[in-house]
Amino acid sequence: MKDYPDKMNVEQARAFRDDVLNIVAQIPKGKVTTYGHIATLAGWPSHARMVGRTLRYTPGAVVLPCHRVVNAVGRTAPGWSKQRQLLEEEGVKFKANGRVDMQSHLWLY
DNA sequence: AGTTTGACTGGAG
DNA sequence: CCTCCAGCCAAAC
């Protein structure tokens, strides 16, 4: 009896995607959260990469505050320089090394 | 059907 | 603080 699922079927994949988008929509302005945290909230702790893929390839994710999602160390998404600008516009501070100041902006549901 | 690819993560050096 | 690496897993090749 496994206590946590290890393989997704089609319905679970759809539910996972919907959960991810729903969670991202709830991130408060001026806050950020991580891919891993979203994956955990969705019930699939080891699927941080899939959260990233979902936000990257799902049309419609662009209307969500997906710029408020950064990796575990506060790094912004590669190839998306505008993300930092969008965050700074809503008051998120970056450290000298280019990472988000997680200590003051990390949001955990 | 086997291999490569990441909007990831945590640990090592 | 940085880079490198193994583990990760669905999707794309």
Amino acid letter at A102? M
Catalytic residue among A27, A39, A66, A92: A66
- Tell me how far apart the alpha carbons of residues A93 and A60 are, in angstroms, rounded to a whole number: 27
Q: Is A8 helix (H, G, I), strand (E, B) or coil?
A: coil
Least confident of A23-32, A61-70, A88-97: A61-70
Amino acid A8: pLDDT: 82
Average pLDDT, chain A: 90
For chain A residues 12-51, those near strand B by a CB cutoff of 7 A are 34-37, 48-51
* pLDDT, tens digit (0-9, with 9 covering 90-100), for A55-80: 998 877 678 999 999 999 999 999 89
pLDDT score of A61: 65
pLDDT of A4 higher than 50: no
